[in-house]
Amino acid sequence: MKLYVLDFGRLGIPKGWFFKAQPMEIKPSAMIGYLIEHPKDGLILYEVGPSPDYKKHWPKPVLDMFPILEYKNENRLDVILQKLGHKITDISAVIIGHAHLDHAGGLEFLRGLDIPVYIHKKELEYAFYAVATKEDLGAYLPHYVDPSFNWKVVEEEEVELFDNLTLYHVPGHTPGTMALSVHLKDKNFLLTTDLAIYYDNIGKEIPLGFGLNDFESWYKSIRKMKMIARKYNSKIIPGHDLEVFNSLKHAPEYYE
């Protein structure tokens, strides 16, 4: 099994979003996805990045607060896959860690296809609620919160969805956030998506700022992820930490 770390560009995130009681200065941050070449189940994506047409899809207030600082042709999901010798139609499954626009907007690449998209039940329910009521419109957008995709609901708190790929329900940033534990031959990884946006959210347990949905759930989830990482000696990769991202191999290099 191989794990590829994908570079979807750079997002400007206000520091007050990912650290409590911090100013709103913009910090350049990584947009990260993962491709797993699974020996039994084919090509599996965890997170798909932003829409390639983000300028059209993202509302102006969102772009003003969370500017995309870099998104070149080489950061497009289809281009990344092509460089690895694959096409979008080769994908056998997609896992959405959480459905915010910078993590799930890239579902646009799957439009019209029947590729299964795995998401936690609570995340799917909240995403459709957020769009329908406009209570959280902006973080979630209707162009991909769309019943035409082949949504597959995960309800478990912990499930080995595919061999050596275990999902954990870790609410706090959003109601249905799912972290992914990847067990390779030589190394294990724990992919937290935005439960921990930067490493210090989990390493030092510094709470998220206004990116926090539920403090009690978030704290329990952080402790749970630390226990899992210790148990399997896993390398933790947060959702947007540019320093951590730069320390990793990036596609076309891979881990196995």
For the chain, counts of helices (H) and of strands (E): 9, 12
User: What is the reported pLDDT for 214?
Assistant: 87
User: What is the reported pLDDT for 76?
Assistant: 98
User: What is the reported pLDDT for 212?
Assistant: 82
pLDDT: which is higher, 33 or 134:
33
- Rounded CA separation 202/208 (Å): 10
**Closest residue by Cα to residue 91 from 82, 99, 100:** 82
Q: Taking the domains of the chain in order of start, what are their residue ranges?
A: 2-246
Global confidence as pTM: 0.96
> Coil, strand or helix: which one is 152?
strand
Spatial CB neighbours of 236, under 8 Å, sequence gap ≥ 6:
189, 190, 192, 196, 199, 202, 203, 225, 229
User: What is the reported pLDDT for 118?
Assistant: 98
CA angle 129, 131, 137 (to 5 degrees): 120
pLDDT: which is higher, 205 or 23:
205
Range in 58-62, 134-138, 206-210, 251-255 with the lowest mean pLDDT: 134-138
- Please report where in the chains the tokens 């896959």 appear, as a residue: 81
CATH code for residues 2-246: 3.60.15.10
User: What is the reported pLDDT for 23?
Assistant: 84
User: What is the reported pLDDT for 235?
Assistant: 97
Report phi then psi at 13, rounded to 5: -120, 130
User: What is the reported pLDDT for 206?
Assistant: 94
- Rounded CA separation 21/15 (Å): 9
User: What is the reported pLDDT for 61?
Assistant: 93
Tens-place pLDDT, residues 113-157: 999 999 999 999 999 999 999 988 889 999 999 999 999 999 999
Please give the full DSSP string across 164-189, using - where no structure is assigned: TEEEEE--SSSTT-EEEEEE-SS-EE
Spatial CB neighbours of 204, under 8 Å, sequence gap ≥ 6:
none
User: What is the reported pLDDT for 75?
Assistant: 98
